Amino acid sequence: MMEALEKTAEFKEAMRRIPAAVAVISALYQGERRGLTATAVCSVSADPPRMLACVNKQVRAHDPIGLAGYFGVNYLCHDQAPVAQVFAAPASQPEGRFSCGDWIEGRSGAPLLREALVAFECQLVQSVDCGTHTIYIGDIIDIAQRDDLSLLYKSGAFRAA
Ligand SMILES: Cc1cc2nc3c(=O)[nH]c(=O)nc-3n(C[C@H](O)[C@H](O)[C@H](O)COP(=O)(O)O)c2cc1C
């Protein structure tokens, strides 16, 4: 057990060294918006264009993403650390997080951040149970992008790149 705990600590320490692009994963389910800040997000394939996001089962957006069948992956610009903080901090009203930033509805209803570096709208095609997390895999149905610096997370701090 001790060995497993040490591995986890070492893994976390190692991951802190790796810069990661910061995104907000978002969904609309039964008229309520939910979202979380996430770095465990990546592209899966280009043909078809497909992405995955790893979402902790305890996060309040977890079930709504699976049930909605659509989600947004909103990669943040360098000056949007406040958005990342709002979507990562405990919130008594998770819908209230969306007052930070200019959020619009995609054609699936998924919330999309108008000023995102890149906003992907995804249709859920597979959910993979993976311990504490679910890996949500989605086909890209729409993309909005702009030229700007991105927001990265490294060693516990947000940076521009
Ligand atoms: C930089 C950063 C990256 C994160 N990446 C993930 C992630 O990839 N997956 C995840 O489930 N939670 C991730 N989190 C934690 C969630 O953002 C946080 O637990 C969530 O917003 C809590 O939402 P809730 O209070 O509505 O349950 C990350 C947090 C931060 C600050």
Which residue's alpha carbon is nearest to atom 27 within ligand 1?
Answer: 59
Chain-centre distance for alpha carbon 157:
17
Q: In tens digits, what is the pLDDT along the chain, a chain of 161 residues?
A: 668 889 999 999 999 999 999 999 999 999 999 999 999 999 999 999 999 999 999 999 999 999 999 999 999 999 999 999 999 999 889 999 999 999 999 999 999 999 999 999 999 999 999 999 999 999 999 999 999 999 999 999 999 99
Ligand 1 contact, 154 CB (< 6 A):
no
Cα gap 1→54, rounded to integer Å: 25
Spatial neighbors of 103 by CB under 8 A, at least 6 apart, are 26, 33, 111, 112, 113, 114
Ligand 1 contact, 22 CB (< 6 A):
yes
Classify domain 20-160 at the CATH class level.
Answer: mainly beta
